[in-house]
Amino acid sequence: MFTRISATLGLRIQRAMSSVNIPPPECMLRPLEVPYRYLFGPGPSNVPPRILAAGARPIIGHLHTEMYEIMNDIKRGIQYAFQTNNHMTLAMSGSGHTAMECAVFNTVEPGESVLVSINGVWGERVAEIAERMGAKVHTMVKSPGGYFTTEEIEKALAKHKPVLFFLTHGESSAGLAHPVDNVGDLCLRHNCLFLVDSVASLGASPLLMDQQKIDILYTGSQKALNAPPGTAPISFNERACHKMFNRKIKPVSYLLDMTHLSNYWVRMHVLYHHTGPVSGFFALRESLAILAEKGLENSWRQHREVAEYLWKGIEDLGLKLFIKDKDLRLPSVTTIAIPDGYDWKELLAYMMKHHQVEMTGGLGPSIGMVIRVGLMGYNCSKFNADKALTALADALKHCPKRRG
Protein backbone atom coordinates (compact mmCIF):
# COMPACT_ATOMS: atom_id res chain seq x y z
CA MET A 1 0.00 0.00 0.00
CA PHE A 2 2.77 2.47 1.01
CA THR A 3 4.73 1.63 -2.16
CA ARG A 4 1.65 2.37 -4.27
CA ILE A 5 1.09 5.77 -2.59
CA SER A 6 4.76 6.69 -3.00
CA ALA A 7 4.64 5.77 -6.67
CA THR A 8 1.50 7.87 -7.18
CA LEU A 9 3.08 10.91 -5.45
CA GLY A 10 6.24 10.48 -7.49
CA LEU A 11 4.22 10.43 -10.68
CA ARG A 12 2.35 13.62 -9.71
CA ILE A 13 5.60 15.44 -8.89
CA GLN A 14 7.11 14.27 -12.17
CA ARG A 15 4.09 15.55 -14.10
CA ALA A 16 4.22 18.90 -12.22
CA MET A 17 7.90 19.27 -12.97
CA SER A 18 7.40 18.42 -16.62
CA SER A 19 4.80 21.23 -16.87
CA VAL A 20 7.47 23.87 -16.11
CA ASN A 21 8.31 25.03 -19.62
CA ILE A 22 9.59 28.55 -18.87
CA PRO A 23 13.28 28.36 -17.89
CA PRO A 24 14.86 30.50 -15.13
CA PRO A 25 15.72 33.93 -16.59
CA GLU A 26 19.45 34.42 -17.12
CA CYS A 27 19.38 37.77 -15.28
CA MET A 28 18.24 36.03 -12.10
CA LEU A 29 21.21 33.66 -12.22
CA ARG A 30 23.65 36.57 -11.92
CA PRO A 31 24.50 38.41 -8.68
CA LEU A 32 22.88 41.79 -8.06
CA GLU A 33 25.07 44.74 -9.03
CA VAL A 34 24.24 48.32 -8.07
CA PRO A 35 26.52 51.27 -8.95
CA TYR A 36 27.37 53.96 -6.42
CA ARG A 37 25.85 57.29 -7.41
CA TYR A 38 25.93 60.72 -5.82
CA LEU A 39 22.22 61.35 -5.43
CA PHE A 40 22.12 65.13 -5.67
CA GLY A 41 18.60 65.27 -7.06
CA PRO A 42 15.33 65.92 -5.20
CA GLY A 43 15.35 62.45 -3.61
CA PRO A 44 15.96 59.79 -2.69
CA SER A 45 19.23 60.88 -1.14
CA ASN A 46 22.21 58.71 -0.24
CA VAL A 47 21.62 56.60 2.88
CA PRO A 48 24.35 56.73 5.56
CA PRO A 49 26.00 53.46 6.66
CA ARG A 50 24.38 53.58 10.10
CA ILE A 51 20.87 53.56 8.60
CA LEU A 52 21.81 50.88 6.04
CA ALA A 53 23.09 48.74 8.92
CA ALA A 54 19.84 49.25 10.85
CA GLY A 55 17.82 48.08 7.86
CA ALA A 56 20.00 44.97 7.59
CA ARG A 57 19.26 43.78 11.12
CA PRO A 58 17.53 40.38 11.50
CA ILE A 59 13.82 40.38 10.74
CA ILE A 60 11.38 39.98 13.62
CA GLY A 61 7.65 39.48 13.45
CA HIS A 62 5.58 42.57 12.71
CA LEU A 63 3.37 41.80 15.74
CA HIS A 64 6.17 40.93 18.16
CA THR A 65 6.45 42.90 21.40
CA GLU A 66 9.87 44.19 20.33
CA MET A 67 8.40 45.46 17.06
CA TYR A 68 5.75 47.43 18.91
CA GLU A 69 8.52 48.96 21.05
CA ILE A 70 10.33 50.04 17.88
CA MET A 71 7.08 51.43 16.45
CA ASN A 72 6.58 53.42 19.65
CA ASP A 73 10.13 54.80 19.27
CA ILE A 74 9.23 55.83 15.72
CA LYS A 75 6.10 57.56 16.95
CA ARG A 76 8.10 59.54 19.52
CA GLY A 77 10.70 60.40 16.90
CA ILE A 78 8.04 61.68 14.50
CA GLN A 79 6.48 63.77 17.27
CA TYR A 80 9.86 65.42 17.78
CA ALA A 81 10.51 65.93 14.06
CA PHE A 82 7.01 67.39 13.55
CA GLN A 83 7.07 69.28 16.87
CA THR A 84 3.71 67.88 17.93
CA ASN A 85 2.11 66.18 20.90
CA ASN A 86 -0.49 64.50 18.71
CA HIS A 87 -1.36 61.02 19.96
CA MET A 88 -2.42 59.96 16.45
CA THR A 89 1.09 59.86 15.02
CA LEU A 90 2.45 56.97 12.95
CA ALA A 91 4.37 55.90 9.86
CA MET A 92 2.58 54.65 6.77
CA SER A 93 3.74 51.50 4.98
CA GLY A 94 4.52 53.17 1.67
CA SER A 95 5.89 56.31 0.07
CA GLY A 96 4.79 59.89 0.65
CA HIS A 97 1.94 59.30 -1.81
CA THR A 98 0.56 56.74 0.65
CA ALA A 99 0.40 59.34 3.40
CA MET A 100 -1.09 61.84 0.94
CA GLU A 101 -3.90 59.44 0.05
CA CYS A 102 -4.38 58.43 3.69
CA ALA A 103 -4.93 62.05 4.71
CA VAL A 104 -7.48 62.74 1.97
CA PHE A 105 -9.29 59.38 2.07
CA ASN A 106 -9.87 59.53 5.83
CA THR A 107 -10.91 63.15 6.30
CA VAL A 108 -12.98 63.77 3.16
CA GLU A 109 -16.24 62.12 2.13
CA PRO A 110 -17.77 62.05 -1.36
CA GLY A 111 -19.49 65.33 -2.20
CA GLU A 112 -17.55 67.40 0.34
CA SER A 113 -15.65 70.51 -0.74
CA VAL A 114 -11.84 70.44 -0.86
CA LEU A 115 -9.56 73.40 -1.61
CA VAL A 116 -6.13 72.66 -3.09
CA SER A 117 -3.35 75.16 -3.69
CA ILE A 118 -1.39 74.26 -6.82
CA ASN A 119 1.99 75.83 -7.55
CA GLY A 120 3.75 72.67 -8.65
CA VAL A 121 3.17 68.95 -9.05
CA TRP A 122 2.09 67.99 -5.52
CA GLY A 123 -1.03 70.11 -5.47
CA GLU A 124 -1.96 68.56 -8.81
CA ARG A 125 -1.63 65.10 -7.27
CA VAL A 126 -3.81 65.89 -4.26
CA ALA A 127 -6.47 67.46 -6.48
CA GLU A 128 -6.63 64.30 -8.57
CA ILE A 129 -6.74 62.04 -5.51
CA ALA A 130 -9.61 64.04 -4.01
CA GLU A 131 -11.45 64.09 -7.33
CA ARG A 132 -11.11 60.32 -7.74
CA MET A 133 -12.76 59.67 -4.39
CA GLY A 134 -15.70 61.93 -5.20
CA ALA A 135 -14.87 65.24 -3.53
CA LYS A 136 -15.84 68.59 -5.01
CA VAL A 137 -12.37 69.92 -5.77
CA HIS A 138 -11.61 73.63 -5.99
CA THR A 139 -8.14 74.84 -6.88
CA MET A 140 -5.97 77.91 -6.46
CA VAL A 141 -3.37 77.84 -9.23
CA LYS A 142 -0.10 79.68 -9.74
CA SER A 143 2.83 78.95 -12.00
CA PRO A 144 5.80 77.02 -10.52
CA GLY A 145 7.58 79.18 -7.97
CA GLY A 146 4.50 81.22 -7.16
CA TYR A 147 3.07 81.41 -3.65
CA PHE A 148 -0.29 82.29 -2.11
CA THR A 149 -0.86 85.20 0.26
CA THR A 150 -3.00 84.79 3.36
CA GLU A 151 -5.49 87.19 1.78
CA GLU A 152 -5.83 84.96 -1.30
CA ILE A 153 -6.21 81.87 0.86
CA GLU A 154 -8.84 83.43 3.12
CA LYS A 155 -10.84 84.63 0.13
CA ALA A 156 -10.86 81.11 -1.35
CA LEU A 157 -11.80 79.55 2.01
CA ALA A 158 -14.75 81.91 2.36
CA LYS A 159 -15.90 81.24 -1.20
CA HIS A 160 -15.64 77.44 -1.35
CA LYS A 161 -16.19 76.51 2.33
CA PRO A 162 -14.00 73.40 2.16
CA VAL A 163 -13.63 70.72 4.82
CA LEU A 164 -9.94 70.44 3.89
CA PHE A 165 -7.32 72.87 2.58
CA PHE A 166 -4.06 71.50 1.13
CA LEU A 167 -0.74 73.33 0.94
CA THR A 168 2.73 72.06 -0.01
CA HIS A 169 5.36 73.41 2.39
CA GLY A 170 8.34 72.14 0.36
CA GLU A 171 7.38 72.23 -3.32
CA SER A 172 10.30 70.24 -4.69
CA SER A 173 9.23 70.58 -8.32
CA ALA A 174 9.90 74.31 -8.12
CA GLY A 175 12.28 74.62 -5.15
CA LEU A 176 9.88 76.72 -3.10
CA ALA A 177 9.44 76.78 0.69
CA HIS A 178 5.90 78.11 1.07
CA PRO A 179 5.08 80.33 4.08
CA VAL A 180 2.85 78.50 6.57
CA ASP A 181 2.42 81.05 9.39
CA ASN A 182 -1.18 82.19 10.02
CA VAL A 183 -2.72 79.74 7.53
CA GLY A 184 -3.72 77.39 10.34
CA ASP A 185 -5.57 80.24 12.06
CA LEU A 186 -7.47 80.95 8.85
CA CYS A 187 -8.49 77.31 8.51
CA LEU A 188 -9.60 77.20 12.14
CA ARG A 189 -11.70 80.33 11.62
CA HIS A 190 -13.37 78.77 8.56
CA ASN A 191 -13.89 75.35 10.20
CA CYS A 192 -11.56 73.70 7.73
CA LEU A 193 -8.76 71.16 8.27
CA PHE A 194 -5.26 72.28 7.26
CA LEU A 195 -3.25 69.57 5.45
CA VAL A 196 0.45 70.15 4.75
CA ASP A 197 2.92 68.19 2.61
CA SER A 198 6.46 68.36 4.05
CA VAL A 199 8.04 65.49 2.11
CA ALA A 200 10.87 67.66 0.72
CA SER A 201 11.18 70.07 3.63
CA LEU A 202 11.02 68.14 6.91
CA GLY A 203 14.32 68.41 8.77
CA ALA A 204 15.63 70.97 6.31
CA SER A 205 13.28 73.94 6.73
CA PRO A 206 11.57 75.09 9.96
CA LEU A 207 8.11 73.62 10.48
CA LEU A 208 6.22 73.46 13.79
CA MET A 209 3.02 71.45 13.55
CA ASP A 210 1.34 72.41 16.81
CA GLN A 211 2.48 76.03 16.93
CA GLN A 212 1.46 76.63 13.32
CA LYS A 213 -1.90 74.92 13.88
CA ILE A 214 -1.42 72.29 11.18
CA ASP A 215 -4.15 69.67 11.50
CA ILE A 216 -2.54 66.95 9.34
CA LEU A 217 1.13 66.78 8.42
CA TYR A 218 3.01 64.11 6.49
CA THR A 219 6.45 63.55 5.04
CA GLY A 220 8.55 60.86 3.37
CA SER A 221 11.48 58.82 4.62
CA GLN A 222 13.86 59.29 1.68
CA LYS A 223 14.69 63.01 1.68
CA ALA A 224 16.36 64.83 4.58
CA LEU A 225 15.57 61.91 6.91
CA ASN A 226 17.89 59.78 4.71
CA ALA A 227 16.08 56.47 5.20
CA PRO A 228 15.33 54.29 2.16
CA PRO A 229 12.06 55.05 0.34
CA GLY A 230 9.01 53.17 1.58
CA THR A 231 7.80 54.67 4.87
CA ALA A 232 5.89 57.92 5.40
CA PRO A 233 5.39 59.65 8.78
CA ILE A 234 2.00 61.27 9.31
CA SER A 235 0.21 62.92 12.23
CA PHE A 236 -3.41 63.96 12.89
CA ASN A 237 -4.49 66.37 15.62
CA GLU A 238 -7.74 66.13 17.61
CA ARG A 239 -9.72 68.17 15.07
CA ALA A 240 -8.66 65.85 12.28
CA CYS A 241 -9.39 62.76 14.38
CA HIS A 242 -12.89 64.00 15.20
CA LYS A 243 -13.60 64.46 11.49
CA MET A 244 -12.24 61.11 10.33
CA PHE A 245 -13.69 59.00 13.15
CA ASN A 246 -17.22 60.44 12.73
CA ARG A 247 -17.68 59.64 9.06
CA LYS A 248 -21.00 58.59 7.51
CA ILE A 249 -19.33 56.02 5.25
CA LYS A 250 -16.08 54.05 5.36
CA PRO A 251 -12.99 55.40 3.57
CA VAL A 252 -12.49 54.11 0.03
CA SER A 253 -9.28 52.28 1.00
CA TYR A 254 -9.13 49.41 3.47
CA LEU A 255 -5.33 49.53 3.68
CA LEU A 256 -5.34 53.25 4.53
CA ASP A 257 -8.37 53.21 6.86
CA MET A 258 -7.24 55.00 10.01
CA THR A 259 -9.79 53.06 12.08
CA HIS A 260 -7.59 50.00 11.54
CA LEU A 261 -4.24 51.80 11.43
CA SER A 262 -4.94 53.52 14.76
CA ASN A 263 -5.44 50.10 16.35
CA TYR A 264 -2.17 48.87 14.83
CA TRP A 265 -0.03 51.94 15.58
CA VAL A 266 -1.55 54.00 18.36
CA ARG A 267 -3.55 51.61 20.52
CA MET A 268 -0.97 48.86 19.84
CA HIS A 269 -3.65 46.16 19.62
CA VAL A 270 -2.19 42.87 18.45
CA LEU A 271 -4.69 42.64 15.59
CA TYR A 272 -3.60 41.79 12.08
CA HIS A 273 -4.26 44.53 9.56
CA HIS A 274 -1.29 44.33 7.21
CA THR A 275 2.33 43.25 7.37
CA GLY A 276 4.38 46.39 7.89
CA PRO A 277 7.81 46.86 6.26
CA VAL A 278 9.84 45.65 9.23
CA SER A 279 13.26 46.49 7.79
CA GLY A 280 11.94 49.83 6.57
CA PHE A 281 10.77 50.65 10.08
CA PHE A 282 14.19 49.71 11.48
CA ALA A 283 15.78 52.19 9.06
CA LEU A 284 13.22 54.91 9.78
CA ARG A 285 13.72 54.51 13.51
CA GLU A 286 17.48 55.00 13.05
CA SER A 287 17.03 58.04 10.81
CA LEU A 288 14.79 59.69 13.41
CA ALA A 289 17.39 58.87 16.08
CA ILE A 290 20.08 60.64 14.04
CA LEU A 291 17.84 63.70 13.70
CA ALA A 292 17.16 63.70 17.45
CA GLU A 293 20.91 63.46 18.20
CA LYS A 294 21.72 66.30 15.82
CA GLY A 295 18.81 68.46 16.93
CA LEU A 296 16.16 70.01 14.69
CA GLU A 297 17.51 73.54 14.92
CA ASN A 298 21.02 72.37 14.03
CA SER A 299 19.63 70.44 11.08
CA TRP A 300 17.72 73.48 9.82
CA ARG A 301 20.84 75.64 10.26
CA GLN A 302 23.08 73.19 8.42
CA HIS A 303 20.71 72.91 5.45
CA ARG A 304 20.43 76.68 5.20
CA GLU A 305 24.20 77.28 5.39
CA VAL A 306 24.99 74.64 2.77
CA ALA A 307 22.18 75.89 0.53
CA GLU A 308 23.49 79.46 0.65
CA TYR A 309 26.99 78.18 -0.17
CA LEU A 310 25.54 76.26 -3.14
CA TRP A 311 23.49 79.26 -4.31
CA LYS A 312 26.57 81.49 -4.40
CA GLY A 313 28.52 78.85 -6.32
CA ILE A 314 25.71 78.52 -8.87
CA GLU A 315 25.61 82.27 -9.43
CA ASP A 316 29.41 82.34 -9.73
CA LEU A 317 29.02 79.92 -12.66
CA GLY A 318 26.86 82.52 -14.38
CA LEU A 319 23.65 80.56 -13.78
CA LYS A 320 20.37 81.99 -12.46
CA LEU A 321 18.42 80.66 -9.51
CA PHE A 322 14.77 79.97 -10.35
CA ILE A 323 13.35 81.29 -7.05
CA LYS A 324 14.39 84.94 -6.88
CA ASP A 325 13.42 85.60 -3.27
CA LYS A 326 16.05 83.97 -1.05
CA ASP A 327 13.55 83.68 1.83
CA LEU A 328 11.25 81.52 -0.32
CA ARG A 329 13.93 79.10 -1.52
CA LEU A 330 13.71 75.52 -0.30
CA PRO A 331 17.07 74.72 1.38
CA SER A 332 16.90 71.02 0.52
CA VAL A 333 16.13 71.35 -3.20
CA THR A 334 17.64 74.19 -5.24
CA THR A 335 16.23 75.00 -8.66
CA ILE A 336 18.38 76.48 -11.43
CA ALA A 337 16.79 78.19 -14.40
CA ILE A 338 17.87 76.23 -17.49
CA PRO A 339 20.68 78.26 -19.10
CA ASP A 340 20.02 79.68 -22.55
CA GLY A 341 21.23 77.55 -25.43
CA TYR A 342 21.67 74.32 -23.48
CA ASP A 343 19.68 71.11 -23.65
CA TRP A 344 19.02 70.32 -19.99
CA LYS A 345 18.83 66.59 -20.71
CA GLU A 346 22.35 66.68 -22.18
CA LEU A 347 23.67 68.47 -19.10
CA LEU A 348 22.15 65.88 -16.77
CA ALA A 349 23.36 62.95 -18.87
CA TYR A 350 26.91 64.35 -18.97
CA MET A 351 27.06 64.72 -15.18
CA MET A 352 25.79 61.20 -14.67
CA LYS A 353 28.21 59.68 -17.19
CA HIS A 354 31.36 61.56 -16.21
CA HIS A 355 30.80 62.31 -12.52
CA GLN A 356 28.26 59.72 -11.35
CA VAL A 357 26.24 62.70 -10.12
CA GLU A 358 22.47 62.65 -10.32
CA MET A 359 20.59 65.91 -10.75
CA THR A 360 17.16 66.09 -12.35
CA GLY A 361 15.02 68.31 -14.52
CA GLY A 362 11.65 69.70 -13.54
CA LEU A 363 8.57 67.69 -12.61
CA GLY A 364 5.01 68.24 -13.74
CA PRO A 365 4.48 71.92 -14.61
CA SER A 366 8.18 72.77 -14.07
CA ILE A 367 9.46 70.38 -16.77
CA GLY A 368 11.68 72.29 -19.19
CA MET A 369 12.04 75.19 -16.75
CA VAL A 370 14.55 74.05 -14.14
CA ILE A 371 17.40 71.78 -13.12
CA ARG A 372 16.99 70.52 -9.55
CA VAL A 373 19.88 70.02 -7.12
CA GLY A 374 19.17 68.34 -3.78
CA LEU A 375 21.59 68.31 -0.84
CA MET A 376 19.68 66.73 2.04
CA GLY A 377 20.58 65.13 5.34
CA TYR A 378 23.65 62.91 4.85
CA ASN A 379 24.41 64.69 1.56
CA CYS A 380 24.11 68.15 3.08
CA SER A 381 27.72 69.37 3.20
CA LYS A 382 29.91 71.97 1.51
CA PHE A 383 32.08 69.10 0.23
CA ASN A 384 29.10 67.72 -1.69
CA ALA A 385 28.10 71.21 -2.80
CA ASP A 386 31.59 71.58 -4.34
CA LYS A 387 31.21 68.19 -6.02
CA ALA A 388 27.87 69.27 -7.50
CA LEU A 389 29.29 72.61 -8.67
CA THR A 390 32.30 70.88 -10.26
CA ALA A 391 30.01 68.55 -12.19
CA LEU A 392 27.85 71.48 -13.33
CA ALA A 393 30.86 73.52 -14.46
CA ASP A 394 32.25 70.57 -16.40
CA ALA A 395 28.90 69.92 -18.09
CA LEU A 396 28.57 73.57 -19.12
CA LYS A 397 32.06 73.46 -20.58
CA HIS A 398 31.64 70.26 -22.62
CA CYS A 399 27.98 70.17 -23.62
CA PRO A 400 27.18 72.02 -26.85
CA LYS A 401 25.60 75.43 -26.55
CA ARG A 402 23.22 76.26 -29.35
CA ARG A 403 22.33 79.69 -30.59
CA GLY A 404 18.77 80.78 -30.02
> Quick check: 186 and 157 in contact, CB under 8 A?
yes
pLDDT of 34 reads 94
Q: First CA to last CA across the chain, in angstroms?
A: 88
Summarised one tens digit per residue, pLDDT across range 156-191 is: 999 999 999 999 999 999 999 999 999 999 999 999
pLDDT of 159 reads 98
Q: Compute the distance between CA of residue 404 and CA of residue 401 in angstroms, rounded to an integer.
A: 9
CA distances from 311 to 179, 323, 360, 374, 394 (A): 20, 11, 17, 12, 17
Kindly write down the DSSP assignment for every residue of 24-83, as one continuous string. PPGGGGS-------EE-SSS--PPPHHHHHHHTSPP--TTSHHHHHHHHHHHHHHHHHHT
pLDDT of 264 reads 86
Domains and CATH numbers, the chain: 49-293 (3.40.640.10), 296-398 (3.90.1150.10)
The pTM of the full predicted model, rounded to 2 decimals, is 0.93
Q: Is 15 assigned a ligand-binding role in the annotation?
A: no
> Quick check: 373 and 351 in contact, CB under 8 A?
no
pLDDT of 401 reads 86
Summarised one tens digit per residue, pLDDT across range 49-63 is: 999 999 999 999 988
Phi-psi region of 368 (alpha: psi -120 to 50; beta: other; left: phi over 0): left
| Residue-level pLDDT, tens digit, the chain, 404 residues | 555 666 666 656 666 556 888 999 999 999 999 999 999 999 999 999 999 999 999 999 988 999 999 999 999 999 999 999 999 999 999 999 999 999 999 999 999 999 999 999 999 999 999 999 999 999 999 999 999 999 999 999 999 999 999 999 999 999 999 999 999 999 999 999 999 999 999 999 999 999 999 999 999 999 999 999 999 999 999 999 999 999 999 999 999 999 999 988 877 666 788 989 999 999 999 999 999 999 999 999 999 999 999 999 999 999 999 999 999 999 999 999 999 999 999 999 999 999 999 999 999 999 999 999 999 999 999 999 999 999 999 999 999 988 75
pLDDT of 266 reads 76
Q: Let me know the angle formed at the C-alpha of 139 by 135 and 141, rounded to the nearest 5 degrees.
A: 155
> Quick check: 307 and 375 in contact, CB under 8 A?
yes
pLDDT of 271 reads 75
